[in-house]
Amino acid sequence: MFFLPPLPAVGRVVVGCLVGKRYWTRSFSAAKMTKGLVLGIYSKGKEDEVPPFTSAAENFNKSVSGKLRELLNISGPPLKAGKTRLFHGLHQDFPSVVVVGLGTQGASVDQLENWHEGKENIRAAVAAGCRQVQELEISSVEVDPCGDAQAAAEGAFLGLYEYDDLKRKKKVQVSAQLHGSGDQDAWHRGVLFASGQNLARQLMETPANEMTPTIFAQEIERSLKAAHSNTEVYIRNKCWIEEQQMGSFLSVAKGSDEPPVFLEIHYKGNPNASAPPLVFVGKGITFDSGGISIKAAANMDLMRADMGGAATICSAIVTAAKLSLPVNIVGLTPLCENMPSGKANKPGDVVRAKNGKTIQVDNTDAEGRLVLADALCYAHTFNPKLILNAATLTGAMDVALGSGATGVFTNDTQLWDRLFKASIQTGDRVWRMPLFEHYTRQVVDCQLADVNNIGKYRSAGACTAAAFLREFVTHPSWAHLDIAGVMTNKDEVPYLRKGMTGRPTRTLVEFLLHFSQEPATE
């Protein structure tokens, strides 16, 4: 149906398509074969209806005398949501045009799916279109806003990202920009949201020997300082950690030759510098072997991303700083490796946390909660408005929800509502899990210490882990996000490539955005 003839003389290119019974061609200079265009089309509302273009696609169709519509009509059935069709030679400025299916026009919040269907359709469609442009080795693409410039930008930048930092052969880097004079502010916001998630993806995907606790802290310091001037970064060493009596954190770190780091970052966006901050805490295990309770060899390489909690909360704070949100935020990330050695924790050891509670370590592979315990205790010293922690904490969370949503355990229904509403807009969903006393009894019934780092029974592992963390929280507004299930992507999220996801960074940023817009309260 579509034909690209052999290249003519150097410096000129002839491209063409079959239109009806006529082969239509145009000649362009090779220099202009460097820009693609992604345009949207909706599904038919009725059987006899012509599938409607977006306004940008309709304008483009008029500029080429209706040839885009003509080609679509002869090229196959109407495009379904997320599907693409490629055309060459329609326009001098855009030698390659990708039309993408956006699904139903006017799609809004799907109460069963708990996301905004229209926004998700845009992200998936634009990502597919931009990747097709990248496969053509075209280095620049303009993107139809598709009715939501922020969602379009997120689709473009999330869809094009792939970690290839350590490869000699890399994909063509594609520069994406908004097509037309639409909502540039929304587009820019989408770029920042996506860039934040991509930062988390990069941190999580980088091999553990290239992303040690020290390197992680330095990367975040560089990113935060570049984002906003009103920031502070403290990279605390082992001596400081010992002074803070963080015995639980140190017990995990001592099994590795890599020195532990406690990273503390501050973004001060509220004009009232004394306003209580929001404190975000992230689990920062830069590699998790399981320690003495060592993991199976299969897929252990994925444990380079066991610092996903630290990556997502730090990336969210960096993005909040780039957006200049009027809110004060503190980020805390205990960073270390969990390795088996002669110095490592042994099953049955008892360690003491910062708040004085003793912990019986019956499984050294349940180490994330040990490092978080001390960080949560320290979080209270900032007189925070709320405390939120994120961690790739339990395989049980993956079993429970898979990659469909982040599990949220919280003692504050208002905080839950805010997170839930944010996730509807981002499509990076959350789901509330129980914090019953039923689970607390299973971790405090301990033979040697105040609390055990695993529950009495094998079942409900994500819930008993949350109950353990609750033993180190006295704040009335706290949420624990278990992100183990959403750590990686195979093909579940169409606008993310295979690999580490950086989820739920955008939901955290959306949460911060809405929180910063609420009227101040005492």
Which structural domains are found in the chain, ordered by start? Answer: 2-165+174-182 (3.40.220.10), 206-517 (3.40.630.10)
pLDDT in tens, 481-516: 999 999 999 999 999 999 999 999 999 999 999 999
- HEC string of 115-142 equals EEHHHHHHHHHHHHHHHHHHHCCCCEEE
Are residues 416 and 491 in contact, defined by beta-carbon separation less than 8 angstroms?
A: no
CA distance 173 to 138: 8
pLDDT confidence of residue 273? 85
Mean pLDDT by 10 residues, the chain (522 residues): 36 39 40 79 81 96 96 92 95 95 96 98 98 96 98 98 95 95 94 98 98 98 97 98 98 98 97 94 98 97 98 98 98 98 98 98 98 98 98 98 98 98 98 98 97 95 98 98 98 97 98 88 46
Sign of CA dihedral 481, 482, 485, 487: positive
Closest-CA residue to 40 (of 50, 55, 29, 25): 55
Q: Which residues of 117-155 are buried (b: 16+ CB within 10 A; e: fewer)?
A: bbbbbbbbbbbbbbbbbbebebeebbbbbbbbbbbbbbb
What was the pLDDT predicted at 418?
98
At 152 the pLDDT is 98
Residues 6+ apart with CB under 8 A from 306: 283, 285, 286, 287, 288, 338, 368, 392
The pLDDT, as a whole number, for residue 46 is 73
- CA atoms of 374 and 336, how far apart (whole Å): 13
* Calpha distance 382→328 (Å, rounded): 11
Question: What is the pLDDT at residue 48?
Answer: 62
What pLDDT does residue 184 have?
Answer: 95
Report the catalytic residues.
Answer: 295, 369
Q: Report the pLDDT value the prediction gives residue 520, as an integer from 0 to 100.
A: 60
The alpha helices in 380-435, defined as continuous H runs, are 395-401, 413-426
Q: Please enumerate in sequence order all residues whose Cβ is within 8 A of that of 188, keeping only pairs 6 or more positions apart, or say none.
A: 153
514: nearest Cα among 323, 334, 361, 362: 323
- Tens of pLDDT, residue by residue over 260-297, are 999 999 999 999 988 999 999 999 999 999 999 999 99
Half-sphere CA count of 156, side-chain side, radius 13 A: 31
